[in-house]
Amino acid sequence: FFLVLAHNAVRLDRLAGLNAELRTLLSPGNNALLFWEEGVFNYSAMLLREDLDLLVVGAREAMFALDLRNISKKITSVTSPIQVRDCKRKGKDAETECKNYIRILHEMVDGKMYVCGTNAFDPACKKMSYADGNLALMEPEDDGKGKCPFDPFQRHASIMIKNDLYSATSMNFLGSEPVLMLSPYVNPLSGPIRTEIKTSWLYDPNFVSMASMPDSEKDDNDDKVYLFFSETAVEFNCYSKLGVSRVARVCKGDEGGQRTLQKKWTSFLKASLDCPVPGSQLPYIIQDSYRWCDPSLHWKECVFYATFTSQSHTSEISAVCAYRMSDISKQFSEGKYKTPASVETSYITWVTFSGEIPEPRPGACINREATNSEIKTTLDLPDKTLQFIREKPLMDQAIEPIGGRPLLTHKGTAFTQIIVKQVQALDGEKYNVMFIGTDQGKLLKALHNEEMFIIEEVQLFTPPQKIKILKFSNKMGQIYVGSDTSVVQISPANCERSSTCFDCVLSRDPYCGWDKVEGKCVSVSSSQSALIQDMKGNASHCPDAGPVVEPLTRNIKPGRILKLRCPSPSNLAKLIWKRNGIPLPHSPEDGLLILDDSDNNNNNSGKYSCLSVEKSKAGEYETIVVNYEVIISLENGGVTQAQSSGESHSGLIVAIVVLAVCLVLLLTWRVVKRHINLPCDRTKEKAEEPQQTRDLEAKDASVPLAAETPNKHTSAGDAPCQRGPTRKDDQSRTPPGSAG
């Protein structure tokens, strides 16, 4: 595995109306640490134990306690034996599916941990303790059905609140019974609360994440749990299944109904999440979400950031949309409902419900107002309210993102994970920085400051592999990344990538500033010096004298093609070329092509400069990236020092000589095999043949040559009038189905 900063320019699709920009820097430093263990895969569960300075990692058939400061140091590990016989007997693969994939890892109130694994398609859970530098699994074992998925490759979500586990997964071996379930810890005999088995509740869902939100400072029963997922839409009239993104909500104090919806959620509501990417005709599918809250503000000011990808096979665009908690809460508490309606006899469509809404409002939590109305728990809810929510859990209107559009769109790799951190810059302002994982093992750092742009892109895993989990430790100020093969620890302040003051300031990275004394870009948090930083990209404070760029000499013979390379320091920058101080026409992105001909009087020699022009809110800045001194070499046998590309005259001559030799060899072989008779050979044969045979040949010679029938040795190329064999037309390829 290699930890390298991306050296290739990254494409950003600048869509109409989206002011998203991308900056990819070329510095090799990244200060990353790596952990992996031979034979262990799927590092996809993580628990930050900052109280113990540990990162607890769940993988396939193993759990690790790593040093939070340096994850390459393993403190301890533990494994759990499983029985694979039943799994294999049921037709599952022994090498991949019949393993124990750790999927749930939560901290309990007493400091112990709750762990669940797929357990070879028989999910199970246990408590786990950490003491004296050792992890230990504790008995007894709990049934994991409804808590953890059977299938290790099926998506799920979970959250633990005061030892109560809320989980979204599948209840059965086939994965055909999706469920959102509460497994109570304090009173387990009361039984779990779960969703109704109806497609109007959950229809082929892919669960993404869960979050808890308080709704009242004084009443826990009014607190909510939110579930983000995607599913097949029931409200659209489509010939094929169409995926949509959703957010669902349940109340923590929900105990189910007395007669209707017994042991089922009486507060389950769901609404669509809209992330409108320009040009897309299909809804985008949510992949991950992250709740960000400013501790100084009310909880309604919290924001959910979510990554989305297209369900169309033809689109490579990913997006990030943000949603205010207040907008989500208002939709559930005040919005209209959708209701199924019959069309003709066998067709169901979903329309806006325009009838009378029963009281108490369907899906509402039991708050103080309800308690004052003698409805103490959900067991006291009237059947009319419960029947309504049982049939109509879907809200009518979709929840729109902040600004009515994505914060960021990006073409290329698909977004997977996201975390958001607020950073205070040297100007005293606070900025939200997004860290986004991709399916190609890249970590993007993006800044939202009136406009959105990507500060940098780091390739963490080579060969590329999907980033499955992201965690951020506030105590250590480090990011932890999990994939199928390893775990990476990386600092969010990768300042060494910028080698000049201009690059450092123009990056607009709130983590970094230019140290004039040290002459390098450093982390703001680790420096005591006065640093240069400007979040608007004003590099006028940088020293005027930049680094001296010594010219590189390049020699080339007449008639050769020379490519002068100029690596772009940023995708925000525009590259321009000058020859002897005079601007040249636009050149290819990867360099400048110069063609020298013997008749052009050597006009291509001279001094060439590649300059990077970068615009920011504060102005336009121009820096020299590379200088070249091009010399036309007229000496025979000289070796060009430049990198040549394309075809040259000498290369063409060599190709002609090789083809000529091949042709001579082919003719020689055919003569030897008697496929071609030379004139001298035929004369000799005729001299030895009887006169009668000569007369016959003379008679045959009167027949035109075009009418001759090729002998059995004649090749297809030797018989131009012979029709070759016909070939059936290729069948048209059916495009693959859309990814849901």
* Pairing of β 206-213 and β 224-232: antiparallel
Please report the pLDDT score of residue 558 as a whole number.
72
Mean pLDDT of 15-27: 34
* Pairing of β 531-532 and β 269-272: unpaired
CB atoms within 10 A of CB 424: 12
Please report the pLDDT score of residue 27 as a whole number.
33
Query: In angstroms, rounded to a whole number, what is the distance separating the alpha carbons of residues 516 and 419?
Result: 32
Please report the pLDDT score of residue 335 as a whole number.
97
Contacts of 24 by beta carbon, 8 Å cutoff, 6+ apart: 6, 8, 9, 10, 454, 456, 457, 570, 571
How many angstroms separate the Cα of 138 from the Cα of each of 84, 100, 112, 145, 619? 21, 17, 10, 19, 63
Q: Which two tokens stand for residue 722?
A: 């012979």
How many angstroms separate the Cα of 295 from the Cα of each of 49, 298, 302, 448? 21, 8, 9, 19
Decide if 500 contacts 30 (C-beta within 8 A).
Answer: no
pLDDT per position as a tens digit, 673-703: 665 554 444 444 444 444 444 443 434 433 3
What's the CATH fold of domain 552-649?
Immunoglobulin-like (2.60.40)
Please report the pLDDT score of residue 549 as a whole number.
74
Query: In angstroms, rounded to a whole number, what is the distance separating the alpha carbons of residues 538 and 677?
Result: 83
Terminal CA-CA length for the chain: 31
Percent of the chain scored above 70 by pLDDT?
A: 78
Of the listed ranges 42-56, 434-448, 468-482, 639-653, the least confidently predicted one is 639-653
Of the listed ranges 23-27, 109-113, 545-549, 682-686, the least confidently predicted one is 23-27
Highest average pLDDT, of 79-88, 306-315, 544-553, comes from: 306-315
Tell me which residue has tokens 């609360």. 193
CB atoms within 10 A of CB 282: 15
* CB-neighbour burial class of residue 320 (10 A; exposed 0-12, middle 13-18, buried 19+): buried
Please report the pLDDT score of residue 599 as a whole number.
54
Q: What backbone phi and psi angles, to 5 degrees, belong to 555?
A: -105, 145
Percent of the chain scored above 90 by pLDDT?
A: 55
Decide if 312 contacts 414 (C-beta within 8 A).
Answer: no
Please report the pLDDT score of residue 191 as a whole number.
86
Please report the pLDDT score of residue 636 as a whole number.
52
* CB-neighbour burial class of residue 550 (10 A; exposed 0-12, middle 13-18, buried 19+): exposed
Decide if 309 contacts 284 (C-beta within 8 A).
Answer: yes
**SS3 call for 705:** helix
Is the pLDDT at 719 greater than 60? The verdict is: no
Q: Where in the chain is the domain with CATH 2.130.10.10?
A: 195-412
pLDDT per position as a tens digit, 85-124: 899 999 999 999 999 999 999 999 999 999 999 999 999 9
What stretch of H or E contains 445? strand 442-449
**Mean of pLDDT over the chain:** 82
What DSSP character marks residue 663? Answer: H
Comparison of pLDDT for 499 and 174, the residue scoring more:
174
Q: Where in the chain is the domain with CATH 2.60.40.10?
A: 552-649
Q: Does domain 195-412 have CATH number 2.130.10.10?
A: yes
CB atoms within 10 A of CB 443: 26
Q: Which two tokens stand for residue 528?
A: 């005591």
pLDDT band at 217 (very low <50, low <70, confident <90, very high): low
Contacts of 46 by beta carbon, 8 Å cutoff, 6+ apart: 55, 56, 57, 58, 105, 469, 471, 480, 482, 487
Highest average pLDDT, of 361-375, 473-487, 669-683, comes from: 473-487
Please report the pLDDT score of residue 534 as a whole number.
93
Is the pLDDT at 174 greater than 60? The verdict is: yes
Q: Does domain 1-30+436-542 have CATH number 3.40.190.10?
A: no
Decide if 482 contacts 44 (C-beta within 8 A).
Answer: yes
Decide if 536 contacts 617 (C-beta within 8 A).
Answer: yes
Comparison of pLDDT for 650 and 308, the residue scoring more:
308
- State the DSSP string of 349-418: EEEE--SPPPSSPTT----HHHHHTT--SGGGS-HHHHHHHHH--BBSSPBPPGGGS-SEEEESSPEEEE
Comparison of pLDDT for 739 and 495, the residue scoring more:
495
pLDDT band at 574 (very low <50, low <70, confident <90, very high): confident
Q: Where in the chain is the domain with CATH 3.30.1680.10?
A: 1-30+436-542
Contacts of 403 by beta carbon, 8 Å cutoff, 6+ apart: none
Of the listed ranges 57-66, 284-293, 350-359, 579-588, the least confidently predicted one is 579-588
